[in-house]
């Protein structure tokens, strides 16, 4: 396959995923996040690799861009931001506890844990979701592939049925960007 065919096929796959996505699936996400802001609850975010970067971007958009000028944004914390903190958790326990350890310190009942995970099976996000459920947090996930364990644990899951990381991450980023910019528009931004 030559370069042009590769790029055309890749973009065609992403376009197909977007065209077949039912945008009403985002309405519960908007409701959960809006209610969290109203209650002054924290929205925690977790993911690995490219999904961690998507979490960081969403945290930026919700805390800064999705607010009315002069008003407070969403109260968010991306659990992927502190490399020293999560490497300490990984070193002192194991890698599967990097998010749970942070939630133990900062989360409270009524908060939200938003997880982005293409496979839905990484032990650190699965354990974080299990912990969050036990402690009374709402768990929202964005998954791909077959949704993995995370799809079953989550209170609400936006699932992209595709078995390739790149296109799944592309769609997750686009959908979460749309959610953030919906709030920006809603707030007159």
C-alpha dihedral over 14, 15, 18, 20, to 10 degrees? -110
| 6 falls within a domain | no
| 115 falls within a domain | yes
Residues 175-182 have a mean pLDDT of: 94
| 5 falls within a domain | no
> Which CATH number covers residue 47?
3.40.50.10490
| 41 falls within a domain | yes
Angle subtended at Cα 102 by Cα 125 and Cα 75, rounded to the nearest 5 degrees? 95
pLDDT at 187 over 80: no
| 112 falls within a domain | yes
Residues 116-132 have a mean pLDDT of: 98
Residues 97-116 have a mean pLDDT of: 97
Give Cβ neighbours of residue 173 (< 8 Å, ≥ 6 apart).
Answer: 54, 57
Q: Which domain does 161 fall in, by range?
A: 24-186
Kindly tell me the burial class for residue 119, based on how many C-beta atoms sit within 10 Å of its own C-beta (0-12, 13-18, 19 or more): buried
Residues 54-75 have a mean pLDDT of: 86
Question: What's the number of domains the chain is made of?
Answer: 1
| 11 falls within a domain | no
| 8 falls within a domain | no
pLDDT at 189 over 70: no
Residues 2-29 have a mean pLDDT of: 95
Per-residue pLDDT tens digits for 58-67? 999 998 877 7
| 57 falls within a domain | yes
**DSSP state, residue 3:** H
Integer Cα distance of 78 and 82 in angstroms: 9
Residue 167 contacts residue 53 (beta carbons within 8 Å)? no
pLDDT of residue 140: 98
């Amino acid at each position: 396959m030559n370069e042009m065919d590769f790029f055309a096929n890749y973009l065609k796959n992403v376009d197909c995923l977007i065209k077949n996505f039912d945008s009403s699936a985002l309405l519960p996400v908007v409701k959960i996040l809006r209610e969290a802001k109203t209650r002054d609850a924290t929205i925690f975010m977790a993911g690995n690799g490219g999904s961690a970067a998507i979490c960081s971007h969403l945290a930026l958009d919700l805390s800064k861009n999705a607010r009315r000028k002069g008003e407070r944004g969403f109260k968010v914390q991306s659990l992927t931001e502190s490399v020293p903190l999560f490497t300490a958790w990984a070193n002192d326990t194991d890698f599967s506890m990097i998010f749970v350890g942070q939630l133990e310190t900062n989360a409270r009942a009524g908060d939200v844990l938003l997880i982005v995970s293409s496979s839905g099976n990484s032990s650190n996000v699965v354990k974080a979701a299990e912990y969050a459920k036990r402690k009374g947090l709402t768990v929202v996930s964005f998954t791909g592939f077959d949704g993995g364990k995370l799809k079953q644990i989550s209170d609400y899951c936006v699932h992209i049925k595709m078995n390739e990381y790149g296109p799944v991450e592309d769609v997750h980023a686009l959908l979460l960007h749309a959610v953030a910019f919906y709030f920006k528009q809603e707030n007159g931004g």
